[in-house]
Amino acid sequence: MKLIIFILTSLFLLLYSIPNKARAATLNNQNYNIDIQNIDTAPQKDKLVPIETKPAAQYAPRTEVKEFSLPLLFSVSENQVDFGVLATGNASKRSVMLSSEAGSEYQIKAFEDHPLRGTANQILADTTCDNGSCSEIRNALWINELTFGFGYSCKPISNCIDLTDDESYKQFADLSSKEKPQKIILGKKQKTEIILKANIPSSQKPASLSNTVTFMAIPSF
């Protein structure tokens, strides 16, 4: 046993002690002749070679676009609402159905370009309701047949903002008076009947009065 170990160890040492042939090109051969004057073997300081680096943040501009593709659907049942010939004490009510659906909550804002107005500048002012208090932001009851003006209500009233009673009305925001379009409905999927009401005072002669009301469906951001 001792003999085997001795032989193996010797063989091992023999194998690893044989120097490897240093492979190197010679100074001279049939292709070239290297002529060295001096070989400087003194240690040298590393020369700092400037490396051109771009600062980490200086990369190509990038743009990221995220799309929320759920569509907004909006329908209005009429292009025009005809009140007929307006007569005192006989308020005219007409309906427009609004239907809307969106992936996120939306609002419907509304405004009028101006109060109902005739070609000879006759004006039917926006209603202030029975107690004189309703506006584009405040509702009030409008039941009295002698109360004149132009305004809106809706069904069901739970769909509309700030309407508290079936017979309560508000004005549309009047763009000609620089009033801002007002939120009238908030929701995700709704059908709402908007009731437009117009009544002229006894002092006003029947005439053709007109205006434009715009309903805007705007998704939340």
Partner 1 sequence: MKKLLFLICIFSLFSLIFNLSEAKAEGVSLKLSPSLLQINAQAPSDINHAFVIENTGNNSIKLKLDLKQFSPDEANNGHLEFLDQNPNFGTITVKIFDKDLEVKEITLGPKQKKTLNLKILIPEKPQIEEQTQADYYFSILFTTIPKPISQGNKQESFTTINAAVSSNILLSVQYKDAFDLFVEKVTTGNIEELSVPSNIDSGPVTFTILARNTSPHFISPTGVILIKNMFGQAVGKVDVDSANILSNSSRYLKNAVWDEKFLFGFYSADLSLKLSDNGPIITKNVKFSVFPIKLIIEFAVVLIVLIVIYSRVKKKL
- Rounded Cα distance between 207 and 205, Å, is 6
Question: What are the residues facing 98 on neighbouring strands?
Answer: 76, 192
Indicate which single residue of 80, 121, 158, 203 sits in contact with partner 1 (rule: CB under 8 A).
80
Nearest CB to partner 1, comparing residues 107 and 139: 107
| Least distance to partner 1, CB of residue 132, Å | 23
Element (H, E) at 154: strand 149-155
The separation between the first and the last C-alpha atoms of the chain, rounded to the nearest angstrom, is: 88
| Least distance to partner 1, CB of residue 163, Å | 17
- Selection from 141, 179, 182 nearest residue 161 by Cα: 182
Q: Does 188 interact with partner 1 (rule: CB under 8 A)?
A: no
* x/- track of binding to partner 1 for residues 10-49 (CB under 8 A): ----------------------------------------
Count residues near partner 1 (CB under 8 A): 64
- Rounded Cα distance between 152 and 167, Å, is 10
Residues 120-149, interacting with partner 1 (CB under 8 A): 124
| Least distance to partner 1, CB of residue 202, Å | 16
**Strand pairing class (168-169; 173-174):** unpaired
**Strand pairing class (116-117; 149-155):** unpaired
Element (H, E) at 8: helix 2-17
Indicate which single residue of 7, 8, 11, 72 sits in contact with partner 1 (rule: CB under 8 A).
72
Residues in contact with partner 1 by CB under 8 A are: 55, 57-59, 61-86, 92, 94, 96-97, 102-105, 107, 112, 116, 124, 180-181, 183, 186, 196, 198, 206-221
